[in-house]
Amino acid sequence: MVEAFTVMNAVGLLAFAVAGSLKGAEADLDLFGVAVLGVLTALGGGTLRDVLVGRVPASLQSTADVGVALVGVALAVAFVVGSEDVRGHPALVVSDAVGLAAFAATGALVGVDAGLSPFGVVVLATLTGVGGGSLADLLLTRVPVVLREDFYATPAALGGVGYWSATAAGVTADEALLGTAALVFAVRVLAVRGDWRLPTLSAV
């Protein structure tokens, strides 16, 4: 079971790194900038999570995660050089949803372990899922996509609620982790297929 989760996490790192690198290439950054955007998108959420609970970021301690992220950067560079437009490609969208699911679930787990309030757990799940992409957006001086009419942060937040409720109800951490990931993935995929959006106040 834990192996399944490790695979989901790696898929997510790869997909996030590809997406971040493409964003950097589009903004005409140099190669260093493209790599920074890719790696930051992949590792930024987990780094924020660890800093918030006072841990030295796992991203700076292991080499495996950054290795996967750099593969994602290389893939993205190959796509751009080959003039292949992969944005919106179903494989990328699904991998991205897998990453959101895995990251939100680990965020919730770390939050519960650190003794956070339910609100804190939801914040940590959400930030772990969307923090990397949002940091990348900020570096490009863009309003983070997740704040605008998009159903992307919401599945991660729901995952936080789900994980907290499950562990409060006595479910084991391993089971809650996988259940949360499945929930986030399902909600995100449904949201993409159904083009779900949250209303803006001007539309009310």
The binding site for its own copies (CB under 8 A) comprises 24-25, 27-34, 36-37, 47, 51-57, 59-63, 66, 77, 80-81, 111, 114-120, 123-124, 134, 138-144, 146-150, 153-154, 157, 197-202, 204
By beta-carbon proximity to its own copies, the closer residue of 61 and 174 is: 61
Task: Give me the least distance between CB of 191 and its own copies, in Å please.
Answer: 12
Q: Are 95 and 12 in contact (CB under 8 A)?
A: yes
CA distance 35 to 177: 30
CA distance 90 to 199: 26
By beta-carbon proximity to its own copies, the closer residue of 54 and 90 is: 54
CA distance 8 to 68: 12
Task: Give me the least distance between CB of 145 and its own copies, in Å please.
Answer: 10
Q: What is the enclosing helix (H) or strand (E) of 16?
A: helix 2-26
Task: Give me the least distance between CB of 4 and its own copies, in Å please.
Answer: 25
Task: Give me the least distance between CB of 58 and its own copies, in Å please.
Answer: 10
CA distance 86 to 18: 10
Q: Are 35 and 21 in contact (CB under 8 A)?
A: yes
By beta-carbon proximity to its own copies, the closer residue of 4 and 60 is: 60
Distance from first CA to last CA of the chain, Å, rounded?
Answer: 44
By beta-carbon proximity to its own copies, the closer residue of 34 and 178 is: 34
Task: Give me the least distance between CB of 143 and its own copies, in Å please.
Answer: 6
By beta-carbon proximity to its own copies, the closer residue of 36 and 178 is: 36
Q: Which residue has the tokens 């983070």?
A: 144
**Can you read off the two tokens belonging to residue 12?**
């997510």
